Structure 1
Amino acid sequence: MKQLVLTVITCVLIACSGNKENKALAKKILTDPGFKEVKERALEVVKTGFNAGDGYGEVWIRDYNTFIELSAEVFDKETLKENLLVFFRLQGEDGNIIDGFIPKEKAVQTEGGYQYIYSDLEPNYCGHKNTVETDHETSLIQAVYKYIKKTGDTGFLSIKIGDITVAERMEQSMAFLMDHRWSEKYGLIYGATTADWGDVQHTHPWGVYITDDTVYCVDIYDNAMLLIALDNMMELIPETKGKWQAIRDEVATNTMKVLWDEKNQKFIPHVYLEKSPYPADFNENEIYYHGGTAVAIEAGLLNKEQIKIAVDKMVANVKASEAGSIGLTMYPPYPEWAFENKGMYPYGYQNGGDWTWFGGRMIQQLIKYGFVKEAYEQMLPMTDRVIKNNGFFEWYTVDNKPEGSGTFRGSAGVLYAAIEQFYDWANE
């Protein structure tokens, strides 16, 4: 009896201590001046348009997907809806979705540059597609989901483009992945050999188009994005469940079967459809993918214990590389010879650059799964540098220097969403 009483008292003390710590953390969050300033700055930067940032002319779907909710705070729903409809109007006959669109008069045709995509259904814009990546279709469905959840505009799904509704076109985009990007060998979708979530393949000086030298593989990012998209589509259009639920479950099972390294508690960077393009003495599995892991958590693939291991590993990688935040794309980076594109040097661009665009998504997942203390600690380097550098930069070097667009709306979008989550938690 005495032991039972002691146990109960101990549990009460632990609970009180935890509650006290949570209240202290909540107060820190609610009074953090950096959060307030970054939130205000995010609202200002998103008012200026929909292109990815000041270094880009196009509206890209993989970016728009991450700031459409922020855009909904400052734009009317008709404007947001029109952007989404452009992607559907420029959809390929095989169901594929373009990467980005640009006004026709601004589309400059250069030798070796983009081969622009046109459609009679879209009078004002033309598109392009970085074909090495396999996330355009899934990004559009996720963006539609966020738009409808934010605005309540369920009628969007019934809009006809040509003779086909948006809902039907969403299914066609998923069918494209099954028909043209499906590996029977692994039961997963595939793409070219890129760095984690990147859209630059290992071969070719530019690297955004599939070529005769492309080496195909399955990876965690593309398949996690597919899982999220299928969940979103089935929620918005319940009648699609009969076909897609079984495929979703198969992809989830095969992702962990093929890509999860149980021994090392990490995702294998690439599993190749045929053979690796890299020499036998290069151990690619030493590389830890931060971005793909964050999206895998969003897709519900990892449990709480595995998520804790993931964040600890990311923090250790930041320390080892001396990078600025867990937005670090990967650690260690690929060697200089691994990519023909000169911008993909070690710790350059997508090869170990530090991207808030993905670091912010990891923060969101940490909050969602109850790791709020860890999330707050890892959020501060990202908000601090927005203020210090006076902008939402595209990426940062390993020594935390800003690079690329200074108005990268994807970074603004993910930080805004994370701050909103922090506030929701603190106010509860």
Structure 2
Amino acid sequence: MKKLFALLMVGGMMSCASQNDSLKTTIQEDAQIPQIKEMGLNLIASGFNAGDGYAEVWIRDFNTFITQSAKVIDHDEIKTNLLNFFYLQEEDGNIADGFITVRPGYDSTYYKKGTLKPELAYHKNTVETDQETSLVQAVYNYVKATNDKSILQEKVDGVTVLKRMEQSMDFLMKERFDQKYQLLWGATTADWGDVQPEHDWGVALDESSHLTIDIYDNAMFVIALNNMIELGDASIDLQRWKKVKEDITANVAKYLWDDKNQKYIPHIYLTKSPFPADFNENEIMYHGGTAVAIQAGFLTREQIKVSLDKMIQNVKESGAPSIGLTLYPVYPEGYFKNTGMHPYGYQNGGDWTWFGARMISALIENGYEKEAWESAQPMFDRVLKNKGFYEWYTRDNQPTGSGMFRGSAGVLLDVIDAFNEYAEQ
């Protein structure tokens, strides 16, 4: 009996090894990958703004293609654009969303001129709580991609970048930290989005905003803290930040993870919900926030598989093209005043490679290479079909938004790098 069991075990291991070898061969021989890689690097080499629909260099976007930028753009140029965010950092430590170079006719009611760099103007979508965490992650990704640690000791108005990174984390603890739940808060948005439901545009906090806690903001925070701790030295309070990271991680599990339904709760409202009382928001699964939570190390390997299975089922039920589907079920018509947030529009059920590819990277990192490869195919296919990296896709897989969206290219090239590394093992 023992001999039979041993033979079965050996047979199973050989079968698994054979499947891995087959997948590695498939990856190595795939004709799409070199084409997509060349297209993506050409796009990223052409600039730092988010895409052809955006004038600004946005930090939440820049963070997701800076690793690839380091392959095709002079590192000093990348560093200059990163440092601009620190030159525009305000006294309380907060970080801008994006900046432009001041030119005749710029909108001075929307943008603020930099004090340290008056040739730059900046603005911030205050419904978000991810600008500071995105910048810390971007610095980390820059250092890892270039091995240029000198940026950490670069002084901006007499203060090192490393210390300014800590000041940005302090801003979140002072201005965006809820004492009851011991987690970060922001305005109500759809998953990782930057549009709240109470306004026709919806990017600025005001008296009508509904404050809430969600998984995306807190997962981004923990990733940033991990990054800052790894880069840090005695000039910052490393022990304090290790404790904050541990507490946030524990409180995410305590308050945001719905163990019964094996998913994250969309929102914990600090006062009340902006949606009708009979609306069961917890039926919704946030795909993007879940992917970032996996990147933050919040879920076990088994929970990751359950999450993936739910995403695949959501794609099947919704008719969406890929697991880049932002969320499902979608918010009903009229729940957001911004008309672009209609069901399956924009961040309310649009399909975004920008976040779906992060889930694929997380799958590869956690040993689900086969599932990752299958999930990547719709994203690979549409790049070649549409000859570009679009911002997002409709439910019938039609490209929309910015036609040269560098965030989509960056995360998809990260996926390709991960597949190639796996195939070469």
User: By the TM > 0.5 criterion, same fold?
Assistant: yes
Instruction: Note the C-alpha offset of 1:122.
Output: 1.2
Distance 1:174 1:107, change over 3 A: farther
Deviates more, 1:233-242 or 1:221-230: 233-242
Normalization by structure 1: what TM-score?
0.97
The whole-number CA distance in structure 2 between the counterparts of 1:230 and 1:366 is 22
What value does the CA root-mean-square deviation take over the aligned residues?
Answer: 1.0
| Deviation by residue 1:200-229 (Cα, 9 ceiling, x = unmatched) | 111111000111100000000000000000
Of residues 223, 230, 237, the one that matches 1:235 is 230
Counterpart of 1:128?
A: 123
* C-alpha distance in structure 1 between counterparts of 2:92 and 2:28, whole Å: 49
In the alignment, the residues of structure 2 paired with residue 399 and residue 106 of structure 1 have an alpha-carbon distance, to the nearest angstrom, of 41
1:12 correspondence with 2:7? no
Aligned letter for 1:60? W
Q: Equivalent residue for 2:381?
A: 384
Alpha-carbon contact 1:395-1:402 (below 8 Å) kept:
yes
CA contact (8 A) 2:113 2:119 kept: no
- Secondary structure of the structure 1 residue equivalent to 2:121: strand
Name the SS of the counterpart of 1:126 in structure 2: strand
Distance across 2 between alignment mates of 1:400 and 1:106 = 39
Q: Describe how 1:368-383 pairs up with structure 2 within 5 A.
A: 368-383=365-380
Q: Offset at 1:123? A: 3.5
Aligned residue in 2 for 1:167? 162
In the alignment, which residue of structure 2 is the partner of 1:325?
322
Is 1:265 aligned with 2:266? no
Contact 1:142 1:232 in 2 (8 A): yes
1-side partners of 2:269 and 2:87: how far apart?
Answer: 34
* 1:227-247 superposed Cα distances (whole Å, 9 cap, x missing partner): 000000000004332111111
CA deviation profile, 1:31-79 (whole Å, cap 9, x unmatched)? 1111111111101111111100000000000000000011111011101
Aligned to 1:147: 142
For the pair 1:215 / 2:210, whether they are aligned, the reply is: yes
* Counterpart code for 1:284: E
Quote the residue 1:199 is aligned against.
194
Query: Of the candidates 114, 117, 139, which is equivalent to residue 112 of structure 2?
Result: 117
8 Å Cα contact 1:364/1:421 also seen in 2: yes
Whole-angstrom CA distance in 2 between matches of 1:107 and 1:400:
37
TM alignment of 1:220-299, pairs within 5 A: 220-239=215-234, 240-299=237-296
Aligned to 1:62: 60
On the 8 A contact 1:90/1:117 being kept in 2, the answer is: no
Partner of 1:78: 76
Confirm or deny: 8 A CA contact 1:107 1:126 kept in the other structure.
no
Matched, 1:26 2:24: yes
Give the share of equivalent positions with the same residue, in percent: 56
Aligned counterpart for 1:364 among listed residues 337, 354, 361 = 361
Query: Which segment drifts farther, 115-124 or 89-98?
Result: 115-124
AA matched with 1:234: I
Query: Which of residues 99, 102, 118 in structure 2 aligns to 1:101?
Result: 99
Q: Distance in 1 between matches of 2:366 and 2:246?
A: 22
Aligned: 1:397 with 2:394: yes
How many angstroms apart in 2 are the aligned matches of 1:117 and 1:152? Answer: 33
Report the 3-state secondary structure (helix = DSSP H, G, I; strand = E; otherwise coil) of the residue aligned with 1:101. Answer: strand
Alignment of 1:314-353 (within 5 A): 314-353=311-350
Does the Cα contact within 8 Å between 2:198 and 2:274 map onto a contact in 1? no
Contact 1:197 1:291 in 2 (8 A): yes
Deviations 1:167-218 (A, max 9, x none): 1100000000000000001100000000000001111110001111000000
Q: Distance in 1 between matches of 2:265 and 2:329?
A: 13
- 1:306 and 2:303 correspond: yes
Amino acid at match of 2:268: V
Q: Which amino acid aligns with 2:401?
A: G
- Which TM-score applies when normalising by structure 2? 0.98
Once residues 350 and 13 of structure 1 are traced to their aligned partners in structure 2, the CA distance between those partners, rounded to angstroms, is 46
Distance across 2 between alignment mates of 1:132 and 1:395: 21
Q: Structure 1: where are the runs of 5+ without partners? A: none
- The 2-side partners of 1:150 and 1:13 are apart by 41
- SS of residue matched to 1:338: coil
What is the aligned partner in structure 2 of residue 414 from structure 1? Answer: 411
Q: Distance in 2 between matches of 1:352 and 1:63?
A: 20
Q: Offset at 1:107?
A: 6.6
Q: Does 1:181 align with 2:176?
A: yes
Contact 1:107 1:116 in 2 (8 A): no
Unaligned runs of 5+ residues in structure 2 are: none
Displacement after TM superposition at 1:106 (Å) = 6.2
In the alignment, residue 99 of structure 1 is paired with which amino acid?
D
Return the alpha-carbon distance in structure 2 between the equivalents of residues 54 and 169 of structure 1: 31
Question: Structure 1 pair 153/27, CA: closer, same or farther in 2 (3 Å)?
Answer: same
Residues 88 and 97, structure 1, Cα contact 8 Å, conserved in 2:
yes
Q: Distance in 2 between matches of 1:77 and 1:413?
A: 16
In 1, the alpha carbon distance for the partners of 2:107 and 2:114 equals: 17
